[in-house]
Chain A
Amino acid sequence: MEAVHEHDHSHDHPTGLMRWVTTTNHKDIGTMYLWFSFAMFMVGGVMALIIRTELFQPGLQVVQPEFFNQMTTLHGLIMVFGAIMPAFVGFANWQIPMMIGAPDMAFPRMNNWSFWLLPPAGTLLVLSMFVPGGSAGVGWTMYAPLTVQQGMGMDLVIFAVHILGMSSIMGSINIVTTILNLRAPGMTMMKMPLFVWTWLITAYLLIAAMPVLAGAVTMTLTDRHFGTHFFNAAGGGDPVLFQHIFWFFGHPEVYIIAIPAFGVISQVIPAFSRKPLFGYASMVYATASIAILSFLVWAHHMYTVGMPVEAQLYYMFATMLIAVPTGVKVFNWVATMWKGSMTFETPMLFAIGFLFLFTLGGFTGLVLALTPVDVQLHDTYYVVAHFHYVMVAGALFSAFAGVYFWLPKWIGKMYDETLGKWHFWLSIIFFNLTFFVQHFLGLAGMPRRIPDYSLQFADFNMISSIGAFGFGLSQLLFLYILIKAIRSGEKAPEKPWDGADTLEWTHLPTPAPYHSFETPPTVK
């Protein structure tokens, strides 16, 4: 930088690659999170297609069972930790400062580091495939003692999880501090946009849950290399202990992914219904209740490990209880649409797709909550179908809704509405083709994580594989839409969505300037 500019240093930034390496700007960092997430989404997607290719027909045609297991493991880890979570942190970075009237995140340099931890972690995950013995073939849940048998690929996965956890914890501390300290005058807690509320709650969940996962994988590491026996009965340990620790993290993790998705939907539905969110306060309380309950139900993932029946009863009742606040949220969204003046641009379509299919995933969650039924369905494709309805039709569709909704504000250009609608319809059709039939496979008794299956499952697996390829290819259209909008999109109007009423739409120009709200707005 030239010396003459020193008096105004804060408005200078390097250009080219160094801009992205050294940036402390929340918008730059948000952009990097989103692109990183998209890249990981593609990598994890290719792995999903390898899985579905092998499962297209009975028999082993394409990959060997060990590699198949590595694919299920890496697909899960990359999608959860590399794609979905960073996507929502990207939204948080872009949106939270603008929505609360803050100039940037509270800890801009830590923000930079939170992001730049991700690429090495993603690289470690991918690299683990190329070490002797390949990556870990243990499933994303990494149950002991199978993890002890694995080669050094397992160690790379453990280190990757450690680094991803550090990134998440730092990102969360940043988000909590920003929301609690940098709100504009007049922006009381109960005036914050619901997206901000959901991230505040999510950040607390992350701070509480991620260290637990770090503990679990560290114990795995010391069992592997340093002679401990946490999970080895012969040394006084217990393999089930791992599952308890993992799911104490793992269940809140489900909501870490789902709650910011609720936040995006709670912005999009009112904007396109041209009507305020119904039951704002009860939405906040419902979200907080879900977050608290999420720490009290973990062993419903473990109904078949042979817990005492009293424990099973408790976990069943507590799990069923989650249906109440979740139901409140769904009812509130529908009530927001009720008597609105709706239009159906792409963000709204994805939000309705979310509402419809996420609720379906919630219903199968209620089926699985019933212990006697779950004993039949546990570790079958029914569970695979259930959590893909929540993770893909839930979190991913919500992320799509968010990108289409805020893209005009971010880049000042519009996406192609016709192509956006194509993206929605292709996604929702192929998604259901892929995953709806998996309910039937699970009910009929097909276990998950098997590379080959008996002939009774052949037809639905073939349908599911066809759907998966359609879904995967549809996402290339999304990439094309993004590139087209960035390169040659029409200039976005100042306020493209009539009903959008948060600060970034009402107080900032479109596109949002590199530095926004250097003087805080006053919120009435």
Chain B
Amino acid sequence: MRLKAFSRLLFLATAMLMAGLASAEYQLNLKPAKTALGEAVYDLHTLVMIIITVIFIGVFGFMFYAIFKHRKSVGHQAAHFHENTTVEIVWTVIPVFILIGLAWPATKALLEMRDTSAPDMTIKVTGYQWKWGYEYLDDDVKFYSSLATPRDQIQGDAEKGEHYLLEVDKPLVVPVGKKVRILTTANDVLHAWYVPELAVKQDAIPGFIRDTWFQAEETGTFRGQCAELCGKEHGFMPIVVNVVSEDDYKIWVAEQKSAGGAAAYDPGKTYSVAELTSAGEAVYKAHCVACHQPNGSGMPPTFPALTGGMISTGPIANHLDIVLNGSKKNPMMAAFGAQLSDMEIAAVVTYERNALGNSLGDSLQPGEVAAARK
């Protein structure tokens, strides 16, 4: 704890020197961790900061002393020594011992960091361009989590909210005090799952599964974001983790299971164009808007316009095919078949044909999507 106080002081002093701007609001150090492992990392960082500060002051103390005393303008005559074996051995050996002293706590923290054995629960995290998929392997809960900040805040047409760019439609919810094992993988390109206060960062690699873990010691909301460049919306795929009490967690899981019916549909019913279009808007905003834009204009040539687009105003079977299976020509168009339900696909295809400046009047029924999947 004393280390922490010292390091804060150190950073504060440096910042004052550098910019004269220090105030309580400036975050100058690692954020205080909410896990035991995070505290170990924090202390390790403080230890190395103290060591390098001492060496820095020592070495450059000598240098500045020489700069002021051993200069020609004060009449100092140059000495002519140019080696000293003893000194050279000393300043090679001493750093080795300092490094060994550092390696010990670093090794301890690393071994703990990588010990993912005996978790209380496991969540599979999948990176998509550009959202996160979460699957609770023990509780059979599965959902997607994407940026909730409205586009007009990003474009500067509305005032930015408190959690600008760090808010999602559906946060990850975990119980406090449990060892949560995170399995990461990705659907398309590399991503990295990074929550500073939980001291986790793990790359998500398509085709492979990696793991990490955390055990939050207090309840609260912790925010992070994707840390590995994953294309144009890399800066817009945040992570929000709600750490709740165990009872609240159980209630939340039960809610998820009953709400799972939202994506279900009535197979006997024929949905109207209006019904599907209104349901499709939410799907469009969560999954399509980043590339095809809120008004459907896209960003040609990579992201074609949907307004008057070749596929979105062409035969509906082709439209369904590209949403379900992705594009064979353009690798940027992902296959959404595995991500979206039949109802969601029916709704979003109908929305794209009857909104965004299109008005074809046709619709796709969820049953047709189910048939196309076979």
What does the 1/0 interface line of B155-173 toward A look like (CB < 8 Å)? 1100010111110000000
**Does B60 sit at the interface, judged by CB under 8 A?**
yes
**Does B15 sit at the interface, judged by CB under 8 A?**
yes
**Does B106 sit at the interface, judged by CB under 8 A?**
yes
Contacts of A275 in B (CB 8 A): 78-80, 82
When A and B form their complex, which 3 residue pairs have the shortest distance between CB atoms, in order from nearest? A233-B207, A450-B235, A306-B210
Contacts of A453 in B (CB 8 A): 165, 235
Q: Determine if A59 and B153 form an interchain contact, defined as CB atoms under 8 angstroms apart.
A: yes
**Does B28 sit at the interface, judged by CB under 8 A?**
yes
**Does A139 sit at the interface, judged by CB under 8 A?**
yes
Given A367-B48, A445-B194, the answer on whether A324 and B82 have CB atoms closer than 8 Å is no
**Does B299 sit at the interface, judged by CB under 8 A?**
yes
Q: Determine if B110 and A372 form an interchain contact, defined as CB atoms under 8 angstroms apart.
A: yes
Residue in chain B with minimal CB distance to A456: B27
Residue in chain B with minimal CB distance to A445: B196
**Does B253 sit at the interface, judged by CB under 8 A?**
no
Cα A450 to Cα B55 with chains together (Å): 34
Cα A334 to Cα B201 with chains together (Å): 39
**Does A407 sit at the interface, judged by CB under 8 A?**
no
**Does A394 sit at the interface, judged by CB under 8 A?**
no
Contacts of B73 in A (CB 8 A): 343
Q: Determine if B21 and A328 form an interchain contact, defined as CB atoms under 8 angstroms apart.
A: no
Contacts of A143 in B (CB 8 A): 190, 228-229
Given A273-B78, A373-B45, A445-B194, the answer on whether A335 and B87 have CB atoms closer than 8 Å is yes
Cα A59 to Cα B158 with chains together (Å): 10
Give the segment of A163-171, A185-193, A309-317 that binds chain B. A309-317
Given A280-B82, A437-B19, A445-B224, the answer on whether A341 and B77 have CB atoms closer than 8 Å is yes
Contacts of A316 in B (CB 8 A): 103, 106-107, 110
27 contacts between A and B (CB under 8 A): A65-B232, A69-B232, A133-B301, A149-B231, A240-B208, A274-B78, A279-B84, A282-B83, A304-B227, A305-B203, A306-B202, A312-B114, A316-B103, A328-B88, A334-B59, A335-B87, A339-B81, A342-B66, A342-B70, A342-B71, A371-B106, A372-B106, A373-B48, A378-B227, A379-B192, A436-B18, A447-B234
Contacts of B83 in A (CB 8 A): 278-282
Residue among A330, A366, A370 with max Cβ neighbours from chain B (10 Å): A370
Q: Determine if A59 and B82 form an interchain contact, defined as CB atoms under 8 angstroms apart.
A: no
Give the segment of B91-99, B241-249, B255-263, B350-358 that binds chain A. B91-99
Residue in chain A with minimal CB distance to B205: A239
Q: Determine if A341 and B62 form an interchain contact, defined as CB atoms under 8 angstroms apart.
A: no
Residues A326-379 near B (CB distance < 8 A):
327-328, 330-331, 334-344, 352, 355-356, 359-360, 363, 366-367, 370-373, 375-376, 378-379
Q: Determine if A447 and B48 form an interchain contact, defined as CB atoms under 8 angstroms apart.
A: no
- The distance from the CB of A434 to the nearest CB of chain B, in whole angstroms, is 11
Cα A151 to Cα B300 with chains together (Å): 12
Residue in chain B with minimal CB distance to A451: B235
Q: Determine if A341 and B160 form an interchain contact, defined as CB atoms under 8 angstroms apart.
A: no
- The distance from the CB of B10 to the nearest CB of chain A, in whole angstroms, is 12
Given A146-B190, A324-B95, A445-B194, the answer on whether A306 and B87 have CB atoms closer than 8 Å is no
Cα A145 to Cα B103 with chains together (Å): 34
* New A-B pairs, 10, CB < 8 Å, besides A69-B231, A146-B190, A280-B83: A66-B232, A239-B208, A304-B227, A335-B84, A340-B76, A341-B78, A375-B199, A379-B194, A436-B18, A454-B163
Q: Determine if A304 and B160 form an interchain contact, defined as CB atoms under 8 angstroms apart.
A: no
Cα A128 to Cα B302 with chains together (Å): 15
Report how many residues on chain B are interfacial, defined by Cβ distance under 8 Å: 103
Residue among B25, B48, B200, B223 with max Cβ neighbours from chain A (10 Å): B48
Cα A294 to Cα B244 with chains together (Å): 46
> Which residues of B are in contact with A by a Cβ distance under 8 Å?
11, 15, 18-19, 21, 25-31, 40-41, 44-45, 48-49, 52, 55-56, 59-60, 62-63, 66-67, 70-73, 76-84, 87-88, 91-92, 95-96, 99, 102-103, 106-107, 109-111, 113-114, 153-156, 160, 162-166, 184, 188-190, 192, 194, 196, 199-203, 205-208, 210-211, 223-236, 299, 301-302, 331-332
- The distance from the CB of A276 to the nearest CB of chain B, in whole angstroms, is 4
Q: Determine if B66 and A323 form an interchain contact, defined as CB atoms under 8 angstroms apart.
A: no
Residue in chain A with minimal CB distance to B209: A306
- The A interface, classified by DSSP as helix, strand, loop or mixed, is helix
Contacts of B56 in A (CB 8 A): 359-360, 363
Cα A125 to Cα B48 with chains together (Å): 40
Q: Determine if A145 and B19 form an interchain contact, defined as CB atoms under 8 angstroms apart.
A: no
Cα A200 to Cα B92 with chains together (Å): 24
Q: Determine if B63 and A355 form an interchain contact, defined as CB atoms under 8 angstroms apart.
A: yes
What does the 1/0 interface line of A438-455 toward B look like (CB < 8 Å)? 001001110101111111
Instruction: Pick from B18, B41, B63, B95: contact of A373, CB below 8 A.
Output: B41
Q: Determine if A324 and B233 form an interchain contact, defined as CB atoms under 8 angstroms apart.
A: no
Given A317-B103, A443-B27, the answer on whether A370 and B48 have CB atoms closer than 8 Å is yes
Contacts of A440 in B (CB 8 A): 11, 15, 26-29
Q: Determine if A320 and B203 form an interchain contact, defined as CB atoms under 8 angstroms apart.
A: no
Contacts of B299 in A (CB 8 A): 64, 66
Q: Determine if B190 and A145 form an interchain contact, defined as CB atoms under 8 angstroms apart.
A: yes
Cα A66 to Cα B232 with chains together (Å): 5
**Does A459 sit at the interface, judged by CB under 8 A?**
yes
Q: Determine if A379 and B227 form an interchain contact, defined as CB atoms under 8 angstroms apart.
A: yes
Contacts of B301 in A (CB 8 A): 132-133, 151
- The distance from the CB of B288 to the nearest CB of chain A, in whole angstroms, is 16
- The distance from the CB of A390 to the nearest CB of chain B, in whole angstroms, is 15
Residue among A238, A239, A436 with max Cβ neighbours from chain B (10 Å): A239
- The distance from the CB of A455 to the nearest CB of chain B, in whole angstroms, is 5
Cα A373 to Cα B200 with chains together (Å): 11
